[in-house]
Amino acid sequence: MAYDYAPFEVLPRRAVAAAGILALHVLVAYLLVTGLMRTILPVVAPPLVGTVTIEDRPQATPPPLARLDFTRTTAATPQVPALPGPPPAAAQSPADTEGEIRSGAQTDAVPPPQVRMLGTNQLPDAEEFYPPELRRLGVEGATYVRVCVDRAGVRQGEPRIEQSSGNARLDDGAVNVARHGRYARSVQGDEPVPNCYHFRIVFRMR
């Protein structure tokens, strides 16, 4: 009994053709991808390295200063003519001298009479005008006050502080003491005249 054998092919023709086409496609794809990557990826240029050199500028030499020569001149002092002196006094005779002495004795002014006070000044007790709060605190002081009166001995105007005690409340109390005082009249000779009196008002703890 005889058998017919068909010739055995290791790879069919269709498979070889398909493999060739596939390889061709792979090659084309590889070339395309490689070209595209080179186009897309930026080409990194190597950094540029430079050197900077700083040069000193030559300084301009200033021109030499011109030398100024000063010549000292002395101004001439003007000559002032001497003024003529007073004429020499004429010699006086003894008679003229005695006459002048006599006339001077006759023209001597008589000094005015002194101002006299008629009576006494009466001031109230300073204790009555001592500020109570300052008395409790033990604050003491003295104020100098000036009071002026007319011909009749009546106070004219408000008392004035000549020297403060250093405390305004004590000064006000001293002014009140002088405001409530009674004052004497003054005369010059026989003529009544106005006058001013000075007082030292003391506030002291007792």
Pairing assessment for the beta strands 185-188 and 160-163 based on DSSP bridges: unpaired
Evaluate whether residue 119 is within a structural domain.
yes
At 152, the amino acid letter reads A
Task: Report residue 9: phi and psi, to 5°.
Answer: -100, 130
Q: What was the pLDDT predicted at 39?
A: 55
Say whether 102 sits in a helix, a strand or coil: helix
Evaluate whether residue 182 is within a structural domain.
yes
| Length of the chain as a residue count | 206
Residue 177 pLDDT greater than 80, yes or no: yes
Provide the CATH number for the domain around residue 185.
3.30.2420.10
Evaluate whether residue 55 is within a structural domain.
no
pLDDT in tens, 32-49: 777 655 554 444 445 544
pLDDT in tens, 97-147: 444 444 444 556 888 889 999 989 999 999 999 999 999 999 999 999 999
CA–centroid distance for 62 within its chain: 45
Evaluate whether residue 186 is within a structural domain.
yes
pTM: 0.47
pLDDT band at 204 (very low <50, low <70, confident <90, very high): very high
Q: Total structural domains in the chain? A: 1
* Domain residue limits at 191: 115-203
Work out the average pLDDT over 2-26: 67
Evaluate whether residue 56 is within a structural domain.
no
Evaluate whether residue 139 is within a structural domain.
yes
Q: How confident is the prediction for the chain on average, in pLDDT?
A: 74
Evaluate whether residue 131 is within a structural domain.
yes
- Asked if 173 and 121 touch (Cβ cutoff 8 Å), the reply is no
Chain position carrying tokens 């001293």:
174
Q: What was the pLDDT predicted at 51?
A: 42
Evaluate whether residue 58 is within a structural domain.
no
Beta strand spans in the chain (E): 115-118, 141-149, 160-163, 185-188, 191-193, 195-203
Closest CA to 192 of 147, 136, 154, 135: 154
Cα distances (Å, whole numbers) of residue 182 to 16, 178, 179 = 156, 9, 9
Q: What was the pLDDT predicted at 22?
A: 85
DSSP type of residue 143: E
Closest CA to 139 of 172, 167, 175: 167
